[in-house]
Amino acid sequence: MEGRSINFGAGPSALPEDVLQEAAKGLLNFEGTGIGIAEISHRSKEFGACLSKLESHIRTLLDVPQTHSILFTQGGGSAQFSAIVLNLLARHRLLHPELKDEERVMDYVITGSWSQKAAAEARRLGGGKVNVVVDSREFSTKDKKSFDNIPPHGDNNNAYKFSPDPALIFYCENETVDGVQFAHDQASPASFPFHRLPQSALLPLVGDHSSSFMSRSIPHLADHAVIYAGAQKNIGPAGLTIIIVRQDCIVDVDAAAKLGASPVPITMSYKTLADHGSLYNTPSTLAIYVAGLVLQRMKNMGGLEYYENVNRAKQAKLYNAIEESEGILRRKVREDAGSWMNVVFDVAGDGADTRFIAGADKLGMKAMKGHRSAGGIRVSLYNAISEKETDQLIEYIKEFVRQEKGRVASEAA
């Protein structure tokens, strides 16, 4: 559509144009009801069908087993930083009522700003002790201060110190701010160390998949207690949070509170969400509708496999262009840990970041400024960014690099 830019923003982010056109119709008249999706009751049978369809799309696309429920709520990843602690500490209390708070451990794998925030919230809420399994900054070859790597887990250099029976084990699959992601190839030294986890059939493993959800398959999905994601990166508007939760983690939080656990706000309890089919209170109806359309489109295009292949190709091309820039662009993250979804880099030279962004802006390529805490450039390549649009960016990068080299040469002359 004329006038639309290519939006490389990190979230809320690009959505497929044909979905937006379809959604515009639903906004006026949802499923022939004569009422728009933002106006219709969440108790109507038409909306109920829409919610069930979204759940069924997620279950089939990701191959979620029947051991796991799919719940929908609001509050984003940030609310889940609190909800995982409250629900899983309640579960631990029911399993081990005799333990004191300081004997309950919550394991956090810290590989970037979001996992750091998640651990800070666990500390703030209390009710257990936070054990930092690993902090990847210690493995930064740059300055020991940067989130620029995934720590090693080999036989001779294992960095991960998991506790024997924690209430939860947290990791963030893709660090949106820092551009660090666990490698998808399970043989890679930068993969998540599933083989290092304590041996238990019902591990309380929690994955924050906010910014990689539906971009590729989830390794060891069935071994997770909780996987959650905000919709606003790959699948829809902000306001919808998806939680995939193993049924043994949907516990009676009020029974746990009677044993001394913290009371859980009713809308944060997984049991409330599960018992009411995610309709305890008013859900984000519009976001649910649009996410359903996005996932229907995804299915039509060839499902997760199709997107995984396209996403692999897009990021490979972009990292390659950075590599070939001969130092004009410099990637910030170590090679095996570079995110497929959020590619971060610096541009060499005074004011070069600004020149890069201004030049792209003129060509209708927007929202590539790095996160305010990280600076530099961040290009987000979520599902709605096509390979063709990525190629357009790469053409621009090549031209930009040519111009910057010319500038450096003339300044030296």
Ligand X SMILES: Cc1ncc(COP(=O)(O)O)c(C=O)c1O
**Which among 148, 208, 346, 353 is annotated as catalytic?**
208
Q: Which is nearer to ligand X, 210 or 311 (CB)?
A: 210
Residue 171 touching ligand X (CB under 6 A): no
Choosing from 78, 131, 158, 191, the residue that interacts with ligand X (CB under 6 A) is 78
Of 135, 233, 314, 346, which one is the catalytic site residue? 233
> Which of 7, 111, 176, 285 is in the footprint of ligand X by CB under 6 A?
176
Residue of the chain from 64, 69, 76, 179 that contacts ligand X (CB under 6 A): 76
Query: Choosing from 114, 135, 178, 346, which is the catalytic residue?
Result: 114
Of 26 and 230, which CB lies nearer to ligand X in the complex structure?
230
Residues present in the chain in total? 413
* 230 touches ligand X (CB under 6 A): yes
Q: Minimum distance from CB of 172 to ligand X (Å)?
A: 5
Other Cβ atoms within 10 Å of 334 Cβ, number: 18
The footprint of ligand X on residues 246-275 (CB under 6 A) is none
Angle subtended at Cα 249 by Cα 131 and Cα 256, rounded to the nearest 5 degrees: 80
**Which residues does residue 131 pair with via DSSP β-bridges, in sequence order?**
107
- Using CB under 6 A as the binding rule, whether residue 386 contacts ligand X is answered as no
- The region of 43-51, 64-72, 82-90, 203-211 touching ligand X under the rule CB under 6 A is 203-211
Minimal CB distance residue for ligand X: 76
CA distance 96 to 98: 5
Residue 332 appears among annotated catalytic residues: no
**Does the annotation mark 340 as catalytic?**
no
Question: Is 233 annotated as catalytic?
Answer: yes
Integer CA distances (angstroms), 305 to 122, 215, 293, in order: 35, 9, 18
Distance between CA atoms of residues 160 and 92, nearest Å: 22
Nearest of 5, 15, 6, 77 to residue 383 by alpha carbon: 15
Site string for ligand X, 20-59 (x = CB under 6 A): ----------------------------------------
E-strand ranges in 79-221 read 105-110, 129-135, 168-172, 174-175, 180-181, 205-208
Q: Give the DSSP H or E segment for 377.
A: strand 377-380
Of residues 162, 242, 244, 168, the one with CA closest to residue 202: 168
Q: Which residues are catalytically annotated?
A: 114, 208, 233
